Amino acid sequence: MKKKTKVILALIIVIILGCLIDVFLVNKNVTKDTKETNITTEQQANTTELTSQEQKEIIESIKNETGLQAESSLYEVDTEYDGRKVLNIKASVQYKVAFAGIIKKQKPKMDEVDSIVNNNHPTKNGIWVEEKSRNQILELISTNTNSTYKIDNEGYLYIESKNNQNEYDKSLEELINQNGKMILTISNLYYEVDNVTGEIVEYPFEKLDNYQAYDKIESEENSIIVITTNSMSKLTNKQILDEVLQIKK
């Protein structure tokens, strides 16, 4: 065999060996990455479990330090701007209590809140209006819109006929078609759970601020909008509707 041919064969063998080594190293790295991914996933699962347990411990610790007295299950842990951990009543609890108060027309008892919500809470998305507030809500809307609005037998606001829609009409239509439930009621107060004692108390928002058009209680995609009775005539219907329709923005 000629010397030149031997050199070429040697180079080919070297190239083939190099390719085989590369393939081996790639497979080894893929296996290593897979193992590391599995380890990371397992660690994250463990962290989630720890976080749940840590939350319980944090709640008990903060309660002991601050003297908060509500049932631990009512609290959730929030973080202040400076990194401090604090306890607040869960948004879902405040929402249920506020709704129960709207339906009962007086302070509800904690042990009846769930049954009131289960039996009376609207099931469809859109704007649902509390029964005793329906005429006032329609009057509030009609003074500032061009379309015609009605409330059906289930309590939902709907557009009966569109007439040269203005900005109020467009905003209302958007709220009616939203993904979520907006509950409207007219009142000078609503009920909430006191953060310290865990007792249900009234929150007289209108008395605290005569110029406040509404107060809002939220839970996930649902919201309760308590519109002022405007008993002191500090606001016009237009000003109230202006404020309420800003909620969607």
**Average pLDDT of the chain to the nearest whole number:** 85
Q: What tens digit of pLDDT does each residue of 143-187 get?
A: 899 999 999 999 999 999 999 999 999 999 999 998 999 999 999
Do residues 192 and 186 make contact, with C-beta atoms less than 8 angstroms apart? no
Q: For residue 223, is it within any domain? A: yes
Q: For residue 74, is it within any domain? A: no
Are residues 124 and 20 both part of a single domain?
A: no
Parallel, antiparallel, or unpaired: how do β-strands 200-203 and 157-161 relate?
unpaired
Q: Determine the angle formed by the axes of helices 134-142 and 237-245, rounding to 10 degrees.
A: 100
Are residues 165 and 131 both part of a single domain?
A: yes
Where in the sequence is the domain holding 145, given as residue range(s)? 92-245
When divided into structural domains, the chain yields a total of 2
Are residues 134 and 241 both part of a single domain?
A: yes
Q: For residue 72, is it within any domain? A: no
Angle at 164 between CA 160 and CA 170, to 5 degrees: 70
Quote the CA–CA distance of 23 and 176 in Å, as a whole number.
61
Are residues 200 and 155 both part of a single domain?
A: yes
Are residues 52 and 150 both part of a single domain?
A: no
Q: What tens digit of pLDDT does each residue of 55-91 get?
A: 788 899 999 998 999 999 999 999 899 988 999 999 9
Q: Quick one: pLDDT at residue 4?
A: 52
